[in-house]
Amino acid sequence: MARFIFITGGVVSSLGKGLMAASLAALLQARGYRVRIRKFDPYLNVDPGTMSPYQHGEVYVTDDGAETDLDLGHYERFTGVPGRQSDNVTSGRIYQTIIQKERRGDYLGATVQVIPHVTDAIKEFARNETDDVDFVLCEIGGTVGDIESLPFMEAIRQLRNDLGRNNSVFVHVTLVPYIAAAGELKTKPTQHSVRDLTSLGIQPDVLVCRCERPLPESERAKIALFCNVPKEAVIPALDASSIYGVPLQYHAEGLDNAVLSAFGMDAGAAPELGRWDDIMDRLGNPEGEVTIGVVGKYVGLADAYKSLNEALVHGGIANRVKVNVRWIDAELFEKGEADIAAQLEPMHAILVPGGFGERGSEGKIASVKFARERGVPFFGICLGMQMACIEGARNTAGIADASTTEFGPTEEPVVGLITEWMTAEGLQKREEGGDLGGTMRLGAYPAKLTGNSHVASIYGATDISERHRHRYEVNVHYRDPLEKGGLVFSGMSPDGTLPEIVERPDHPWFVGVQFHPELKSKPFDPHPLFASFIEAALKQSRLV
Ligand code: GLN
C-alpha cells in the first residue's frame, strides 16, 4: 500500500506549496521510490478549463485529456510522471459526483451530508489508482482557515486514522516574515497557523518555513517547541534563484530526511541528485544568450503561459544558453501603438503561443509575416499555428479574406470548427454552440510526420503523440494553395484529415503546431522542438 503525504498551507497563499510538493516528490524519486502527486482544489468550478488565465494561470492538460491546475505542470516537470485526470479534483467535481448520485437515488433515501458523504468522496479520490506507487503526495489548495477547504481538512484528518499513523504524514508550509522595523524574523504567524490546523485535528509532522532570510537556530527551536514538532522537522525554505534549484535546496535543509523519519523510515543512502546538479550547472554557467519575443494576449501575467515559459528555459538548458523572454502584447501592433519592426528586430526568434478569441489576432498575423519575410526563426503554437496558416493564405496563397470561424462567419475558413474527430474510443462529436466546458479536442493524439520534413528530423521520428486543447482546426481543404505558397503540411492526424504541423522548407526555422509541446517538456528532458527552436535563435543571434 502507498504511503500518503498531505501538504497544507498556512498564513498566506502563493507560498510555493506546489513547488514544494514537486520537489519533495523529486527527492523521494531520487531515493528510488515511485511517486504520484495529486492536487485538491477547494473552489466550486468542476475544473479550471473555463477559468480565465488571468485569474488562475494556465490550464494544464494531461495525456488523458483532463484540464487541470497548473501545479500539475510542476509535478510533471519535476518528476516526469505524466499527470492524469484522477490527480486533480475540485470541490465542484466532488459535489457534481455526489449530486448525480443523489439524483439517481443511489443514497437510498439517506440525508446527504458533508460528513460522511463529501469527505468519503474526497477520501476515495485520494486513494484511487495508487497501488502502483510508494508515495502519494496530496496538496490541498488554499490556506488553512478557508471555509472552502474545511471538508478536505476533515477528510485528510480521517485518512490518517484509516491509513494508520505510519502510513501518513502531514507537511505544513507556512511563512516566517521578516519585519524590517524590528530586524527580526517572526514566528507568531506560523504558531497561529499550526494552532488553526490542530483545532481541525491535524498535528503537522513537518513544517516548511518560507522565509526571506536565513532562519536562526534559536527561531527554529522556538517553532519546534511551540508547534510540537522535532527541530529537525522545521525546514527553512529561502527563495531560490531558479525553481530547478529547489529540490537541491530542500535536500540540503533536510526535507526528505525529515519526511522519511516522520514515517519511521530509515533514510538510507543519499539520493541520486546528479540530474538536478547538471541542470543547475547549465543554468548557472550559460555560454550564450538569446532573446525570444512571445507575441500573445495574456502577457501581463507570467502564470498564464507557465509551461511555455518553462519549455523555453528547457530549450536553453539543452543548448547551455540563457533565454530571455520578452512578452509582447499583440494588441499594441493593431492599435498602431507599437512599431512592429522596432519591437521585433531585436528578437532572435519569435513565438506566437496559444490563445482564445480575436483580440490581438491581427498583431499576431503581422508578427508571423515579419518572421517569414525576415527569415527570423518562428514557432507558432495552437492559435499561433492557425495564425501562421491565415498569414500564409493571405500573403502567399492569394486568399485575401482568409480567417477563422472562431472570429465570426467567413467566406474563407482556413481555420474552422471541426464537429467530429476520431479517438481511440471511437468517433467524438461536439455541437456548434454547445457548452464551453469540456467541448474541446483535449489530451494526447497521435500524428504522422512526413519522412523528409524538418520536424521529422527534429523529433528523430515520424510517429509522435502530443497534447491538444482547442476547438478549431486548420481546414485540410486549403492544403494545396497553402503548400503552393510554401507552407507545407508536414504532420497530419493518422487518418489524414487534421493538419497537426506546418512548416516552411525555404525558411531557416518556421514551424507551426496545432498541439502544445510545452506541456511535455522537462528540464532533464527538454522537448525537441524547443531545443531546436532555441538552437535556431542562437544561430540567428550570431547573424545580427
Ligand atoms: N482558439 C483556438 C482554438 O480553439 C486555439 C486554442 C489554443 O491556442 N489553445 O482552436
Q: What is the CATH number of domain 3-42+87-267?
A: 3.40.50.300
138 assigned to active site? no
Regarding the beta carbon of 383 and ligand 1, being less than 6 Å apart is answered yes
Q: Which of 406, 500, 518 to mutate to test the pocket of ligand 1 (most atoms within 8 A of CB)?
A: 406
Residues 6+ apart with CB under 8 A from 398: 481, 485
Candidate CATH numbers 3.30.200.20, 3.30.2000.10, 3.40.50.280, 3.40.50.880; the one for domain 280-541: 3.40.50.880
In the DSSP assignment, the letter for residue 111 is P
Which of 76, 331, 518, 535 is the catalytic position?
Answer: 518
In this predicted structure, what is the pLDDT of residue 79? 97
Q: Is 222 annotated as a binding residue?
A: yes
C-alpha of residue 100 to centroid of ligand 1, in Å: 31
Give the atom of ligand 1 at the shortest distance from the alpha carbon of 381.
8
Angle, in degrees to the nearest 10, between helices 17-30 and 71-79: 20
240 is in an annotated binding site: yes
**Residues in a beta bridge with 499:** 492
Mutate to test the pocket of ligand 1, among 298, 307, 356, 442 (most ligand atoms within 8 A of CB): 356
pLDDT tens profile 518-527: 999 999 999 9
Question: Do the annotations mark residue 260 as ligand-binding?
Answer: no
pLDDT band at 268 (very low <50, low <70, confident <90, very high): confident
Write out 351-407 in H/E/C secondary structure: EECCCCCCCCHHHHHHHHHHHHHHCCCEEEECHHHHHHHHHHHHHHCCCCCEEEHHH
C-alpha 413 to ligand 1 mean position (Å)? 15
pLDDT tens for each residue of 319-351: 999 999 999 999 888 876 678 888 999 999 999
Return the DSSP state at 177.
-
- Name the least confident of 49-63, 125-139, 231-245: 49-63
Dist. CA 259–CA 4, nearest whole Å? 11
Domain ranges of the chain: 3-42+87-267, 280-541
DSSP assignment of 126-150: HHTT-TT-SEEEEEEPS-TT-STTH
Please tell me whether 100 is known to bind a ligand: no
Q: Could you report the per-residue pLDDT of 163-201, keeping only the tens digit for each?
A: 998 999 999 999 999 998 988 889 999 999 999 999 999
Question: What is the Å distance from ligand 1's center to 525 Cα?
Answer: 26
Assess whether pLDDT exceeds 60 at residue 424: no
Q: Is the shortest distance between the CB of 407 and ligand 1 below 6 Å?
A: no
Angle, CA 351 vertex, CA 346 and CA 353 arms, to 5°: 145
State whether the beta carbon of 406 lies less than 6 angstroms from ligand 1: yes
Closest atom of ligand 1 to 354 CA is 8
Distances (CA, A) of 447 to 50, 128, 322, 439, 500: 27, 31, 31, 21, 7
- Look up cell 483532463; give the residue: 66
What is the rounded distance in angstroms from the CA atom of residue 16 to the CA atom of residue 9?
Answer: 9
Question: Is residue 450 over pLDDT 50?
Answer: yes
pLDDT band of residue 429 (cuts 50, 70, 90) is: low
Q: Annotation-wise, does 95 bind a ligand?
A: no
What stretch of H or E contains 511?
A: strand 510-513
Query: Residue 434: pLDDT above 80?
Result: no
Given the residues 314, 470, 516, 527, select the one marked as catalytic: 516
Q: How far is the CA of 104 from the centre of ligand 1 (A)?
A: 36
Q: What's the mean pLDDT in 245-265?
A: 96
Give me the residues paired with residue 323 across strands.
Answer: 290
Three-state secondary-structure class, residue 176 = coil
Strand duo 488-492 + 441-449: pairing? antiparallel
Give the sign of the dihedral formed by CA 88, CA 90, CA 92, CA 96. Answer: positive
Nearest atom in ligand 1 to the alpha carbon of residue 516 is 9
Q: How many CA atoms lie within 13 A of 409 on its CB side?
A: 0
Task: Reply yes or no on whether 310 is catalytic.
Answer: no
pLDDT per position as a tens digit, 119-146 = 999 999 999 989 899 999 999 998 998 9
Is residue 355 within 6 Å of ligand 1 at its C-beta? Answer: yes
pLDDT at 425: 60
Q: Per-residue pLDDT for 20 more than 60?
A: yes
Please, are residues 242 and 249 in contact by the beta-carbon 8 Å criterion?
Answer: no
Asked if 3-42+87-267 and 280-541 have one fold, the answer is yes
Residue nearest to atom 3 of ligand 1 (CA): 470
Query: pLDDT averaged over the chain?
Result: 92
Q: For residue 151, report the phi and psi dihedrals to the nearest 5 degrees.
A: -60, -30
User: Ramachandran region of residue 49, left (φ > 0), alpha (ψ -120 to 50) or beta?
Assistant: alpha
Q: Is 504 annotated as a binding residue?
A: no
Half-sphere exposure of 449 (CA within 13 A, CB side): 21
Q: What is the pLDDT of residues 362-400, one digit of tens each?
A: 999 999 999 999 999 999 999 999 999 999 999 999 999
pLDDT at 437 over 50: no
Of the residues 382, 389, 454, 535, which is catalytic? 382
Output the pTM of the full model. 0.92
Looking at the predicted structure, is the pLDDT value of residue 30 above 60?
yes
Q: How far is CA 195 from the centre of its chain?
A: 33
Closest ligand 1 atom number to CA of residue 384: 8
- Whether the pLDDT of residue 430 is over 80: the answer is no
Q: Is 516 one of the catalytic residues?
A: yes
pLDDT tens digit string along 456-504? 999 999 999 999 999 999 999 999 999 999 999 999 999 999 999 999 9
Arithmetic mean of pLDDT, 408-413? 89
Q: In the predicted model, is pLDDT for residue 25 greater than 70? A: yes
The answer for residues whose C-beta is within 8 angstroms of residue 292's C-beta and 6 or more apart is 312, 323, 324, 325, 326, 347, 348, 349, 350, 351, 534, 537
φ and ψ at 503, to 5 degrees? Answer: -150, 160
Residue 436 annotated as lining a ligand binding site: no
Nearest atom of ligand 1 to the alpha carbon of 415? 10
